[in-house]
Amino acid sequence: MPEPLLVVDVQRGFINEFTRHVPARIRQVIDSQSHAPVLFTRFVNSDASPYRTLLDWNACAEPPETEIVEELQTHASAQTVFDKHGLTGLPDALSERLRSEAWPQISIVGLDTDMCVLKIAMDIFDLGIEPIVLVDCCASTAGLQAHLAGLAILSRNIGPHQLRLTELHEGYLAGPA
């Protein structure tokens, strides 16, 4: 039986030179049909967000930056996309769904490894669900060093055995061509 896949914040506003390879890799995982259902989080930088008020960062507030990337849009729907505001990790509606479904584990992919992927994986761990982070389908907009830092923190907090490679890897770490 396929296990669920959670795609974290793979939206237009987070695609850059360090992350552009991730959507195609996630699409390959989805197309392999080894995961179901496929759920998404989408970061929305609301007006009262600390990103705006404390960091003066105003991006990802509205479309097109908040839109799920084109490669994955066919798998996203109103029932599978959960908006989140800030580093809240799991939105309440997604947390409730995870509890009600009682999945023993969930695979996690997405952006940014050192921020949102990390926070969501730790929140899922706190729910008593085994988070499996597919490291070759994650990246950070801040680059490889931030990605590796996120993996180091995840390894310590949810366990190194929770960090896994997909069958897609062309080496230990996937990166932009």
The pLDDT tens digits along the chain (177 residues) read: 689 999 999 999 999 999 999 999 999 999 999 999 999 999 999 888 888 889 888 888 889 999 999 999 999 999 999 999 866 689 999 999 999 999 999 999 999 999 999 999 999 999 999 999 999 999 999 999 999 999 999 999 999 999 999 987 665 555 555
Which pTM does this prediction carry?
0.93
Question: Rg (Cα) of the chain, in Å, rounded?
Answer: 15
Residue 47: its pLDDT value, please?
Answer: 85
Q: What DSSP character marks residue 37? A: E
* The pLDDT value given to residue 104: 96
Determine the pLDDT at residue 46.
Answer: 87
Is residue 37 within 8 Å of 80, Cβ to Cβ?
Answer: yes
Residue 169: the pLDDT is 64
Ramachandran quadrant class, 18 (left: phi over 0; alpha: psi -120 to 50; beta: rest): alpha
Residue 85's pLDDT is 84
The answer to whether 105 and 132 have CB atoms below 8 angstroms apart is yes
**What pLDDT, on the 0 to 100 scale, is given for residue 109?**
98
Q: Which CATH number is 3-164 given?
A: 3.40.50.850
**E-strand stretches of 3-116:** 3-8, 35-43, 81-84, 105-111
Query: Residue 147 and residue 152: Cα distance in Å, rounded?
Result: 9
Q: What is the pLDDT of residue 167?
A: 81
DSSP state of 63: T
Q: Measured between alpha carbons, how far is 41 from 45 in angstroms, rounded to an integer?
A: 13
Task: Please state, in angstroms and rounded to a whole number, the distance separating the CA atoms of residues 51 and 109.
Answer: 23
User: Phi first, then psi: what are they for 130, rounded to 5°?
Assistant: -75, 115
Cβ-proximal residues to 173 (8 Å cutoff; 6+ apart), any chain: 135, 136, 144, 147
Q: Which helix (H) or strand (E) segment is 28 a member of?
A: helix 22-31
What local confidence, expressed as pLDDT, does residue 88 receive? 67
- E-assigned strands of 75-170? 81-84, 105-111, 130-139, 163-164
